[in-house]
């Protein structure tokens, strides 16, 4: 479309120069009149170019909106159908013979026959070389993906039988590549929470020690 508009405006300019030149030669148009005509054409061209760009941009945005709506229309493969309630996460977490392939590479086993038990109240670390599946293990526990084989349980209950919202509510997850949304620090920290008090919010900031650098006016003059 841009190409078409450029060609059209060049043709119009050529036509005006040609026709105007002929009229100047036969005396029906003065040189001043031709100069004025050419400058009016330039102004008209600028205006029509900016309208064309707006129209092109508008069509591009409609296309992007379509892609966005496609994402919203996707039906998640992880279903939240668990009804079993549980009190809190100070429970025994167990992986039994868990295996997993990402849906995009169904033939590549990222995790194979993994078993471990995390006793109540203990700290547990998973160590391994890059790309060996540490983050994937956490994603399976969060049920961002359904595992392909084996069982993951909390106090003997399969994680599919637990309410997904309640499971997520019990887990504090700091991902490897954190994203910040445009907005205030408070909006970022409380993202997804509808019901929280300022006391809770400040306590979280103190416990995680983010308050130490956010409350430093040199770093963030507007604070949270």
Ligand X SMILES: Nc1ncnc2c1ncn2[C@@H]1O[C@H](COP(=O)(O)OP(=O)(O)OP(=O)(O)O)[C@@H](O)[C@H]1O
Q: Which residues bind ligand X (CB under 6 A)?
A: 102, 104-105, 110, 128, 130-136, 176
Q: How far apart are CA 103 and CA 122, in angstroms?
A: 32
Shortest spacing between CB 191 and Mg ion, in angstroms:
22
CB closer to Mg ion, 90 vs 129: 129
Shortest spacing between CB 149 and ligand X, in angstroms:
16
Binding mask 175-204 for Mg ion (x = CB under 5 A): -x----------------------------
Shortest spacing between CB 178 and ligand X, in angstroms:
13
Q: How far apart are CA 13 and CA 84, in angstroms?
A: 75
Instruction: Output the six-digit token pair for 60.
Output: 């591009």
Q: Is residue 85 a contact partner of residue 157, using CB atoms and an 8 Å limit? A: no
Residue 104 binds which one of Mg ion, ligand X, none, with CB within 5 to 8 A depending on kind? Answer: ligand X
Q: How far apart are CA 188 and CA 168, in angstroms?
A: 17
Of 9-17, 77-85, 134-142, 164-172, which segment contacts Mg ion by CB under 5 A?
Answer: 134-142
Out of 6, 61, 120, 135, the only residue in the binding site for Mg ion (CB under 5 A) is: 135
Shortest spacing between CB 128 and ligand X, in angstroms:
6
**CB atoms inside a 10 Å sphere around CB 107:** 5
Residue 110 binds which one of Mg ion, ligand X, none, with CB within 5 to 8 A depending on kind? Answer: ligand X
Torsion of CA 115, 118, 119, 123, to 10 degrees: 150
How far CA 37 is from CA of 18, 41, 44, 77, 92, in Å, comes to 12, 6, 11, 65, 84
Shortest spacing between CB 133 and ligand X, in angstroms:
4
Contact residues toward Mg ion (CB under 5 A) are 134-135, 176
């Amino acid at each position: 479309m841009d190409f078409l508009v450029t060609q059209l405006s060049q043709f119009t300019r050529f036509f005006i120069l040609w026709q105007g030149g002929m009229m100047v030669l036969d005396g029906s148009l003065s040189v001043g009149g031709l100069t004025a005509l050419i400058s009016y054409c330039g102004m008209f061209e600028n205006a029509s170019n900016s309208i064309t760009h707006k129209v092109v941009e508008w069509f591009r945005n409609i296309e992007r909106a379509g892609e966005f709506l496609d994402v919203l229309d996707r039906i998640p493969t992880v279903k939240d159908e668990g009804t079993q309630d549980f009190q809190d996460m100070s429970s025994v977490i167990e992986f039994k013979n868990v295996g997993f392939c990402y849906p995009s590479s169904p033939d590549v086993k990222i995790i194979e026959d993994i078993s471990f038990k995390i006793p109540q109240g203990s700290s547990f670390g998973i160590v391994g070389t890059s790309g060996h599946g540490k983050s994937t293990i956490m994603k399976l526990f969060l049920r961002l993906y359904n595992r392909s084989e084996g069982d993951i349980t909390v106090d003997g209950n399969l994680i599919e039988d637990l309410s997904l919202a309640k499971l997520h509510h019990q887990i504090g997850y700091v991902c490897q590549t954190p994203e910040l949304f445009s907005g205030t620090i408070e909006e970022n920290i409380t993202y997804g929470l509808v019901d929280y008090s300022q006391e809770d919010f400040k306590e979280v900031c103190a416990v995680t020690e983010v308050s130490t650098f956010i409350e430093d006016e040199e770093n963030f003059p507007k604070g949270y």
